[in-house]
Structures are given as structure tokens and as C-alpha cells.
Amino acid sequence: DRTLKLWDTVTGAEIKTLKGHTGGVYSVTFSPDGKTIASASSDRTIKLWDTVTGTEIKTLKGHTNLVLSVVFSPDGKTIASASHDGTIKLWN
């Protein structure tokens, strides 16, 4: 449904629904400090979200086809994304 949902793992209750992608979401990852979520979508973007407020921080554009995967580096300073366009991109 083009959303991300945050769930309480103890109670199973939904905490937040994050809306903003215009295509299906293929991958999500938490930053190492847990403050940011990155999501990859068929809308060819990566979105960064604030985990506390659920608000969109930034949209990363550059892929020419759907983004299949996204991951933070261990220090949280770089994001790597892989796309169906055959590229891997690194973002600061």
C-alpha cells in the first residue's frame, strides 16, 4: 500500500504509518543509532524518515528504475542503494 508501518514488538500494536512513497516499498533499514529509517521504493526514490515523529526528512533521487534495496553503513554516514537499473549508489 506504499506505506511503512512501525510496530511495537512487545504488544504487536501499530505505532505509526509512514506515508510518502508513490510506489511499492521494497526495502527498509534503521540507521545504526535508530533515529532514522531509509526506505527504497519502486517510485525510484529512497526516503529518509525520523523514527520519533514519523516525518519524512529527505528524498534521495538518482536511480532510473525501481530501488530494490537500501542499507546504512555501520557508522551511519553513508547509505548504499541497489536498483533494477543495474546500479549501486552511495549517498552521504
pLDDT tens-digit series, residues 14-64:
999 999 999 999 999 999 999 999 999 999 999 999 999 999 999 999 999
Radius of gyration of the chain (CA): 13
pTM for this prediction:
0.94
Cell numbers placing 19: 506515508
Q: Please count the other Cβ atoms lying within 10 Å of the Cβ belonging to residue 36.
A: 19
SS3 label, residue 66? coil
The whole-number pLDDT of residue 11 equals 98
Residue 6: name the closest of 32, 39, 33 by CA: 39
Nearest 5°: CA angle at 73, between 72 and 77? 90
